[in-house]
Structure 1
């Protein structure tokens, strides 16, 4: 029994080795990746780590492996969007949970301005993180270009436009989702279906529009298309533009739920009822859609799985694997707006 008030000694590699019946060198190899260790010894060391309560000092691990044992969640948008757009917070939470299960911390970084981008790239380039989860990349992004040039392991959320063959990514099926929502609006009997796109320098902006256009075929009409920026204000401005140009529209596919909130407000202000006069469909289903009045019909992205797969692919790249890509299906969630 330990003397009262005396703290229990922290277990060491020596304690783990004694419990497992192996050398300290074998324990060290297990801790640093398990290379050149027999299955029997590996199992014995892992069990000994559990029974002794051993936990390696992260600084010591970094010195031994040359790694930081941390990952950056890098959002290349203005800071306020981290709080206004629920998609980002869900992706952040999912990535943090996936890394916590592996005993690794997640560093949140926002690089929406040139100064922020330089600071982040200097930090990442100095080796303070092992890799980057890149969120909301735009075509021609100097951040992505720099990450590739510095050979920093990176996995993008969405197709990294311009770097499709060199940077791994996890994406929702934006094109298929755009087609499915457009078809749903047509199936409700609407004949003048408009769309508010996302930014056309983003994969979601391009592919959701392509899905809309493909589903309409010969009925596609440029006058029913307005461009947004994934913000509430962008949805407001685009909806006003559409109503001015095509006051006869009877449905609108909005490429994000946040933009749809602005669009629905404009429709109400114009005296149009949703869905009686104008049916509205969104894209995301990150929690916002169900809170709107009327509740928003939308395409659901599997955000939790996107986060988990991004973490898995990134850690594979950090360990030397080639970049991989995954496209996950979206699903239609029908509510009151359409």
Structure 2
């Protein structure tokens, strides 16, 4: 890189381009969040921006680009949920959301893009959200909504709001999405349990109105069938710690003859473990336990949880990249990405 220009007056794009040794157009593309710039070029520009202390004129730029340099992370929850399951409380206790924010911020922070958190959980709040987005207060949406009947993905598509969905849409909707291969992840759990000699394998599934839960249960059943095994019991949970404890109590009451359990989330496994202990069943000696996510909850378990890892940070980063591409080029075709899970073996199985 060339030397930093004299600090007389405000630094311009031309100054940054001269220090980086690239064209003004390249600098503009990097600063505007264009994700197609060669990584080596991007690094040169970002170093030059830091060296020159360049600060974009956001107000002037927004008049030209009609962009706000902000995106929304929208979490849409089902309307019918238990009173004892406060939406906002789960946002700050479920490791899933923090990992998504981490992945998104990794992509947008270097580009000077701000993140706005928005929560919706009924028809009125969804309508207000779409109205807010139509007015251009943010440039696009990273959307978390896992319920099949949630109308928000369709509403965003109809409003032509740039958006990327976490997980495959439950209905046929023209929207980009990023998801994990949930069937393959469940199969990894079953294969590990079978290879350890377990033959009476039950599961605590996630809510059956969520495509991810449906896929994990299907993968579990398909893997059992491939080994000529029947499921030893199924109890539906709700992806919370309390829901995992309640589901384990139902399993013990209705289908107690199991030697292993595949739990569809680490947080539910964290709730299920002490229930087994109170019934005098040790893990992994009497019951092997495998979770799903590889979140901080897996390490909070005692013994620490063997689990299927879905790379949430990488998935969230990909969502942010796809969204920035849409914002930069609204005519770009919709895209999807599927990440492959891996098994993390610890002490519970």
Using the size of structure 2 for normalisation, the TM-score is 0.83
Task: Please give the alpha-carbon distance, in whole angstroms, between the structure 2 residues aligned to 1:134 and 1:168.
Answer: 10
Query: 1:28-51, CA deviations, whole angstroms, 9 ceiling, x for partnerless residues?
Result: 8996689xxxxxxx9x99998676
Q: 1:128 to 1:181 in 2, by over 3 A?
A: same
2:304 alignment counterpart: 295
1:12: Cα distance to partner?
4.7
In the alignment, structure 1 residue 153 sits paired with structure 2 residue 162: yes
How many equivalent residue pairs? Answer: 323
Give the CA RMSD over aligned residues.
3.2
Q: In the alignment, which of 260, 269, 292 is matched to residue 269 of structure 2?
A: 260
Task: Please give the alpha-carbon distance, in whole angstroms, between the structure 2 residues aligned to 1:30 and 1:293.
Answer: 47
Q: 1:234 to 1:52 in 2, by over 3 A?
A: closer
Task: Please give the alpha-carbon distance, in whole angstroms, between the structure 2 residues aligned to 1:143 and 1:33.
Answer: 26
2:347 alignment counterpart: 336
Conserved? CA contact 2:32–2:111, under 8 Å? no
Using the size of structure 1 for normalisation, the TM-score is 0.85
Unaligned runs of 5+ in 1: 1-6, 35-41
Q: Residues 122-271 of structure 1: matches in 2 within 5 Å?
A: 122-163=131-172, 166-217=174-225, 218-221=228-231, 224-271=233-280
When Rg is computed on C-alpha atoms for both structures, the one with the higher figure is 1
Q: 1:13 to 1:199 in 2, by over 3 A?
A: same
- Counterpart of 2:239 in 1: which secondary structure? coil
Query: 1:210-255, CA deviations, whole angstroms, 9 ceiling, x for partnerless residues?
Result: 110100115334x611111111121111111111111111111000
1:131: Cα distance to partner?
1.1
Task: Please give the alpha-carbon distance, in whole angstroms, between the structure 1 residues aligned to 2:237 and 2:47.
Answer: 55
Q: 1:84 to 1:53 in 2, by over 3 A?
A: closer
1:334: Cα distance to partner?
0.9
Query: 1:132-190, CA deviations, whole angstroms, 9 ceiling, x for partnerless residues?
Result: 111133112122221111111111111111136x1111111111000110111122111
Q: 1:130 to 1:10 in 2, by over 3 A?
A: same
1:97 alignment counterpart: 106
Conserved? CA contact 1:32–1:61, under 8 Å? no
Q: 1:50 to 1:281 in 2, by over 3 A?
A: closer
